[in-house]
Amino acid sequence: MILHVTAILGFQLLGEVLTRGLALPVPGPVMGMVLMLAFFVLRPTAAETMRPTAQGLLAHLSLLFVPAGVGVVGHARALGEDGPAIVAALVLSTALAIAVGALVFVAVARLTGDSDD
Q: Choose between 2 and 82: whose C-beta lies nearer to other proteins.
A: 82
> Is there a contact between 21 and 29 (Cβ–Cβ < 8 Å)?
no
The DSSP annotation for 4-27 comes to: HHHHHHHHHHHHHHHHHHTT-SS-
Give the x-and-dash track for 17-56 against other proteins (CB under 8 A): --------xxxxxx-xxx-xx--xx--x--x--xx-xxx-
* 95 C-beta neighbours (distance < 10 Å), count: 10
Residue 62 binds other proteins (CB under 8 A):
yes
* Using rule CB under 8 A, residue 68 touches other proteins: yes
- Number of residues engaging other proteins in binding (CB under 8 A): 77
